[in-house]
Amino acid sequence: MVNISKRPVDEKKLFKIYQLFFKVIDQADNKEEFFQLIQDIFSPSEQIMIAKRIGVIYLLIKNVNKLAITKYLKVSMATVDKYYFLYYKKKTNLILIIESFLEDEKINHFFEDLFADIFIHPGIYIGHHQLNWEHKKRQKERLMIDV
């Protein structure tokens, strides 16, 4: 559990702190720099807490069973229910962002499957058996993740 001071900061100061936080995070030019900043700013338990929250929302959006989420992410049912409520009752910005990622993912998978159907011809061209096998393996992995 994160400890927060009982003495609240006024809204103007808090807004300025959020702006500073955004500027610091915005300085990351790539994933490695971003991860380094996250490690510098957040404690290991805070990093895990934030990642799990995003993971819960992601899995709820993908319609994964709530009990499976609790087991997979090692979170309580209360945590899952909290984000279940957020997902179905309040469309927060985070949820809209993750949904847009999933839409992009579906579009990318659609085109990958389409191009594979058009260009991969096992039995006709040398090496296409391997390409077909790799594509089928990726499709199977996607189905396992979608469950």
Check residue 8 and give its pLDDT.
86
pTM value is 0.64
Q: Where are the alpha helices (DSSP H) in 42-127?
A: 44-61, 66-73, 77-89, 93-119
Residues in the chain predicted with pLDDT less than 70, given as ranges, are: 1-2, 88, 108, 110-112, 114-127, 143-147
CA-angle at 45, arms to 39 and 49, nearest 5°: 100
How confident is the model over 33-66, as pLDDT tens digits?
988 998 999 988 888 888 888 889 888 887 788 9
CA of residue 44 relative to chain centroid, distance: 18
Amino acid at 82: K
